[in-house]
Amino acid sequence: MPQTVLVTGGAGFIGSHTCVELLRSGHEVVVLDDHSNSSPEALERVAKIAGRPVAGTHIADVRDRRSLDAVFAHHPIDAVIHFAAKKAVGESVQIPLTYYDINVSGTIALVSAMHDHGVHRLVFSSSCSVYGDATTVPLTEESPTAPTNPYATTKWTCERILADLCRHLPDLRVLALRYFNPAGAHPTGLLGEDPRGVPNNIMPFLTQIAVGRRAELGVFGNDYPTPDGTGVRDYIHVVDVAEGHRAALDHIDDEPGMRVFNLGTGRGASVLELVRAFEEASGRPIPHRVIERRPGDVAELVADPAKVAEAWGWSARRDLAAMCRDAWNFQQHNPYGYVH
């Protein structure tokens, strides 16, 4: 059934790819984004790829109840996908209050507006960072959670708040999706990751080196207890993540209450493996040098993706080579990203 979906943070990296997927599946999409970490240009490109635009765009802060009320009053929203948040782990240590305010207070404002306007379906962007320094991998949804930085704590706190709300409100259906390491870009080269300033994540760092914007990659430590000593992560193609959200909407009414799912591939890659895969995909050498460990980094984070596969028949289909190829394609066509 086509739905009208409010996508907060819909102009961002994962949000924009998800808007394409929803439009292509016949849903109506309404975006609320303050563009604090995105460009309105992304939504122009969403329309170009999908062949039709989103039904509404609201430039607003998700914490602003008046704006939320206006959105819910103007559109017959059936479900909400809540991406809008700040996501830089290091920055969250420097300005924790801002992170709690935007990520936690923003979620509270949103669910309270949803409640007042009779909207009962929410897909929430959570993160593998809630697992903290994992002692055993792969991680199932039952693995212990132990956030190690304010960003991760905001996601963990939102999950707790949403679980409490679901116990209190029998109509509410919440899917918390714990993404592992989303990477890549849309294969058209029109949408991708466009971080402001120095990238926090490794893939945009690699693409910026390849395009000549940065000189070399600092590999954060090679003395981890992993096969080659560098950190192992479960990189997942952003289009797979977007398709996961379409599947989530298809299945949100399966059961009432709150459910948590990992979105990962189940396959880990080390930093050096990723560098090699990227060199192969781009045909460009990536100068790299081992430097100190990054404080707060963990050795290995890999999903057990079985629960979502069993529940929805959904699993990630694209491999590391596709992530590298598509990320590189976007960077080549947009060497300086979207025009902010």
- Using CB under 6 A as the criterion, which residues of the chain lie in contact with ligand NAD when the complex forms? 9, 11-15, 33-38, 61-63, 83-87, 102, 106, 125, 127, 179, 181-182, 201
**Residue 287 interacting with ligand WQD (CB under 6 A):** no
**Residue 99 interacting with ligand WQD (CB under 6 A):** no
Positive or negative: CA dihedral 16, 19, 24, 28: negative
Residue 15, contacted partner among ligand WQD, ligand NAD, none, CB below 5-8 A by kind: ligand NAD
**Residue 218 interacting with ligand WQD (CB under 6 A):** yes
151 is catalytic: yes
Residue nearest to ligand NAD (CB): 12
Contacts of 112 (CB under 8 A, 6+ apart): 65
Catalytic-role residue among 151, 224, 235, 338: 151
Residue of 45, 63, 82, 87 that binds ligand WQD (CB under 6 A): 87
Pick the closer one to ligand WQD by CB: 205 or 261: 205
In whole angstroms, how close is the CB of 169 to ligand WQD at the nearest point? 26
Residue 72, contacted partner among ligand WQD, ligand NAD, none, CB below 5-8 A by kind: none
Residue of 38, 129, 208, 331 that binds ligand WQD (CB under 6 A): 129
Q: Are 198 and 294 in contact (CB under 8 A)?
A: no
In whole angstroms, how close is the CB of 137 to ligand WQD at the nearest point? 13
Quick one: which segment of 41-49, 52-60, 69-77, 216-224 binds ligand WQD (CB under 6 A)?
Answer: 216-224
d(CA 108, CA 127) in angstroms, rounded, equals 18
Pick the closer one to ligand WQD by CB: 115 or 284: 284
Pick the closer one to ligand NAD by CB: 91 or 250: 91
Compute CA distances 18 → 119, 295, 320, whole Å.
20, 32, 20
Residue 338, contacted partner among ligand WQD, ligand NAD, none, CB below 5-8 A by kind: none
Residue 200, contacted partner among ligand WQD, ligand NAD, none, CB below 5-8 A by kind: ligand WQD
The residues that touch ligand WQD, with contacts defined as CB under 6 A, are 87, 89, 127, 129, 181, 200-202, 205, 217-220, 231, 233, 271, 294, 297
Residues with a known catalytic role: 151
